[in-house]
Structure 1
Amino acid sequence: MSSRSYDIAVIGAGVIGAAIAAQLSRYAVRVVWFEAAHDVAEGASKANSAIACTGFDMAPGSLESDLILQTNPQWENICRALDVPLRRIGALSLAFDDGDSDSLRNLLNQAREAGIEAELIAGDALRREARTAAPSAIEALHVPREGIIDPIRLTVGLAKLAVLNGVELRCSTPVTGFRHHPSGAISHVVTPTGATAVGAVVNAAGVNADLITDAAVAEPFTMWPRKGQFLLLDRAVGHLVPKIMCTAPTPHTRGIYAVPTTNRTVLVGPTAVDGDDRGDKTTDGDTLDAVWARAERLLPEGVERRHVTKTFSGLRPASDRTYRIEVSAKVPNLVHAAGIRSTGVSAAPGVASYVADLIGAEVMELPVKSSVRESIPVIPRLAEIDTDVAATAFTARPGAAPDEHPIVVCACEHVTAAEIAAECRGPVPATSLDGVRKRTRATAGRCQGAYCSVGVSFILSAATGDQPGEVRHGEPGSHWETPVR
């Protein structure tokens, strides 16, 4: 049994759990944070559409809509504090026939009701905004404040802020059960390493949130994985897609998207297929063929399937009720933050504030700390610095260690050894090749690590103490080894 007790335990280190941990770190309470995986952002937070949405396509008055509307004006300040890329490039929801146009008029009325800037455009105005993309579109709803964001850097940034403000993060530590007081309140969180005394628990376990509520003997609810498959297009054609492009929604689907990323590539997808295997992140050719066929009308001529550099899938947490953010009716010190579906990134800061308010009002007092960090240290990133600035910022220092040198390790993504080393030794350090990729994009470019994995593994080995050939690719047991020739 852990000798130390905590006021609050947070379960789950996706973007919702990270936002909650960062928010709670502002209060004078002891917070422990459990994550089953070896790193933060291992679930839906690393495999989503990377949109910071305004909420224009949400029904006004829902909790989901309210939290997105609350969050959206804050993004510039949040991303500046957390060193997260954000660009408000706007979105075009496109009509290709009269039925689509009717859907756009409903969206326009919905956006105006929520106070979101939006307009219907056609003809020359549409072609100015879309350029050569979606050449057969006849009309579009233009939402200029829709944004793109790096959801992984956001999750990692929130996690860093939480840890720097005193939250204790325990990765590779799945929650397996709970102990209770006679009153029914949770007294301890049980993991394979023992039991930890806590005063309250926040269930932010994503697709596994129902397993947590069952283990806590709280109200039952059902979660299941909703798989979304994506194709990633090379940045060589990224400039041809100027805005978030999507088909008009139907009663059955929000449609297919072509989303420019903050890294100048383009995401195409996703699908939305419910399943029952919470670990199935496979892709299949037939589905990807169907996604591409549907996406082609969003893309300009010249963008072809050969420009795809990667395919992947993510599992969104579907549920029998969305946005279940409440204190348990059966366990008085358990707070659910569950069923937060595809808009989790867009609502995360709002969800975190809402959860903190719930805890303060119904569970325990949350005294504000006298002093907290408001931002994280900025790591210079060659790919994000102007050439003239880079010439000075990345000049080699006499006597610098090899992993502190500005030498470029990942040519595709312009990532230096110094940047990789900094992320291997930071407050939430990368401990695997995948962890480095998530923080720096090294190994994530056009060659998918074919040329830079060796260099990355050597820098990672210096931080972890593992031999380069024993460096983990991701979860324990997934070793990357240099091939023998």
Structure 2
Amino acid sequence: MTRYDVAIVGAGVIGSAVAAALSRYQLNVLWLEAAHDVAEGASKANSGIAGTGYDMPTGTLESDLVRAASSTWEATCEALDVPFARVGSLSFAFEPGDLANVTKLAEQAADAGVRAEILEGPRLREAAGGMAPAALAALHVPGEAIVDPIRLTIGRARLAVTNGVDLRCSTPATDFRHDSDGRITHVVTPRETFAVGAVVNAAGLNADVIARAAKAENFGMWPRKGMFLLLDRAIGEQVPKILTMIPTEYTRGVLAVPTTNRTVLIGPTATDETDKSDKSTDAETLDWVWDRARDLIPHLSRDHVIKTFAGLRPASDRTYRIEVSAEVPNLVHAAGIRSTGVQSSPAVADLVCSLLESIGVRLTPRRDPQIRLPRVPRLAELSTDDAAERSGSMVVCACEHVTAAEIRAACTGPVPARSLDGVRKRTRAMAGRCQGAYCSVGVGFILSVEQGFDSWDVPQGEPGSSWGVG
């Protein structure tokens, strides 16, 4: 039986950051994911903000990690071929009573060492570009940024696997074996049992389930549902920055976030639920989000909505539980990481590595680890001249300008797509205005050829989700 130095449970944005970080060392790393692909949980349904932490009170682990990560984004995304942009943010005050909160937020940003300025009058109108016309003032934070969280997670996964990490999707950790000192010796899955030296619990919404199975802390976690509306590029061209209300003690409210794909996300809501699998949306809640969004973006039309969806963020009785378990000496929790998981993930990975080292995992650097991924030419991201030179590959997805060559590349190599959803996450094919109405057949054909599926049995997502059309 192969013995692994470390086993990571969970392949979301945190698990992928840990896997990529550990792949730099001379370690035998096992990486388990219950779903058929990486980035299947909260990592694919969030706002994609890579923030500075300006709106967080200083002195918390969360704020420390977000701020530590903020300066690393340019280098990280350039190495992983991930879209990133510091577009800045505007937090608007619409009522006279909110003006004091703008000043308070500016002072908080200054305490955190984050550059921010209060805008009013003509300067506000110029910066807002026609957005939020009723606002009295706004706090401008130029360092706030956006990132593609799905490509970030997949990029880290590709880097980790290239460096030798053993990724096993559709392989949930169901049980653990211990020695007489309470240390985990084996991770049990439905098909195989693995000998391990240490375990990282990065299971997101199910981190509490993993903790109980490992005979560790008995903490509670539940889904906090956030509903979004996605607007097409006609609106995206009008939204220059991240737009938000002045944050309260409990929420940042409804945001308008320009994406790296030049669309706009509207949302999210934040309602605590009990069902960890319920990602449904409802018309009443979406109507409420829409009404709030019109304060930020005037003259909105529902004609610009191309998709609605919900994500389940991991809420818990204690946030940012990043520590060695007090019950199991070789278990490290990376749990309770709520909506700021994307923006803190680089620093979370560094902290987890330090915790592993503190319990005896030797972090000996590898001689020549892969630190960059080869750049995949993407038609939508090329200049006109470069696109003309690469015109030999057929465009399969007209909405997102995705070629057959890009789809083939997504279906091969480390961490390949094994479903239509997997192709969409890697290329954005089927994610545009028509949501796959015109291109899904072509995408499915290429996927069937590359992965050996029968053409009528190409899965939409998890195994068994095929269209069933013969």
SS at match of 1:313: strand
Counterpart residue number, 1:402 = none
Question: Could you list the per-position Cα deviations for residues 153-212 of structure 1 after superposition, in whole angstroms to 9, with x for gaps in the alignment?
Answer: 000000001000110000000110000011100000000012100000000000100000
Counterpart residue number, 2:402 = 415
Shift of 1:148: 0.8
For 1:3-152, what aligned pairs fall within 5 Å after superposition?
Answer: 3-152=1-150
Moved more, 337-346 or 62-71: 62-71
SS at match of 1:240: coil
1:332·1:363 contact (CA, 8 Å) conserved in 2?
no
Counterpart residue number, 1:333 = 330
Question: Could you list the per-position Cα deviations for residues 365-392 of structure 1 after superposition, in whole angstroms to 9, with x for gaps in the alignment?
Answer: 2111111011112110000000101111
Moved more, 350-359 or 103-112: 103-112
SS at match of 1:337: strand
SS at match of 1:117: coil
1:161·1:376 contact (CA, 8 Å) conserved in 2?
yes
SS at match of 2:261: coil
For 1:286-435, what aligned pairs fall within 5 Å after superposition?
Answer: 286-301=284-299, 303-392=300-389, 394-396=390-392, 406-435=393-422
Shift of 1:100: 1.7
Counterpart of 2:341, as a letter, is G
Counterpart of 1:327, as a letter, is V
Question: Could you list the per-position Cα deviations for residues 269-295 of structure 1 after superposition, in whole angstroms to 9, with x for gaps in the alignment?
Answer: 000000110000000000000011111
Counterpart residue number, 1:480 = 467
- Give the gaps of 5 or more residues in structure 2: none
SS at match of 1:116: coil
For 1:218-229, what aligned pairs fall within 5 Å after superposition?
Answer: 218-229=216-227
Shift of 1:361: 1.9
Counterpart of 1:171, as a letter, is C
Counterpart residue number, 2:440 = 453
Q: Distance in 1 between matches of 2:248 and 2:235?
A: 29
1:240·1:300 contact (CA, 8 Å) conserved in 2?
no
SS at match of 1:105: helix
**Residue of 429, 433, 440 corresponding to 1:442:** 429
Shift of 1:481: 4.4
**Residue of 167, 171, 174 corresponding to 2:172:** 174
SS at match of 2:159: helix
Q: Distance in 1 between matches of 2:462 and 2:100?
A: 47
For 1:223-238, what aligned pairs fall within 5 Å after superposition?
Answer: 223-238=221-236
Q: Distance in 1 between matches of 2:56 and 2:250?
A: 15
Q: Distance in 1 between matches of 2:105 and 2:158?
A: 37
Counterpart of 2:349, as a letter, is A
1:202 to 2:200 alignment: yes
SS at match of 2:437: coil
Counterpart of 1:313, as a letter, is A
SS at match of 2:90: strand
Q: Distance in 2 between matches of 1:362 and 1:4?
A: 21
Counterpart residue number, 2:457 = 470
SS at match of 2:72: helix
Counterpart of 1:434, as a letter, is D
Shift of 1:141: 0.3
Question: Could you list the per-position Cα deviations for residues 49-78 of structure 1 after superposition, in whole angstroms to 9, with x for gaps in the alignment?
Answer: 111111011111111111111111111100
Counterpart of 1:210, as a letter, is D
SS at match of 2:237: helix
SS at match of 1:281: coil
Counterpart of 1:178, as a letter, is F
1:227·1:281 contact (CA, 8 Å) conserved in 2?
yes
SS at match of 1:221: coil
SS at match of 1:103: helix
Question: Could you list the per-position Cα deviations for residues 225-280 of structure 1 after superposition, in whole angstroms to 9, with x for gaps in the alignment?
Answer: 00000000011121111110001112332211000001010000000000110000
Counterpart of 2:446, as a letter, is I
Shift of 1:395: 4.0
Counterpart of 1:476, as a letter, is P
Paired residues in the alignment total 470
TM-score, length-scaled by structure 2: 0.99
Q: Distance in 2 between matches of 1:480 and 1:439?
A: 21
SS at match of 1:427: coil
Q: Distance in 1 between matches of 2:322 and 2:217?
A: 13
Shift of 1:300: 2.8
Counterpart residue number, 1:401 = none
SS at match of 2:14: helix
Counterpart of 1:76, as a letter, is E
SS at match of 1:472: coil
Q: Distance in 1 between matches of 2:249 and 2:183?
A: 42
SS at match of 2:2: coil
Q: Distance in 2 between matches of 1:69 and 1:246?
A: 20
TM-score, length-scaled by structure 1: 0.96
Counterpart of 2:39, as a letter, is A
Q: Cα RMSD (Å) of the superposition? A: 0.9
Question: Could you list the per-position Cα deviations for residues 19-53 of structure 1 after superposition, in whole angstroms to 9, with x for gaps in the alignment?
Answer: 00000001101000000000000000000011111
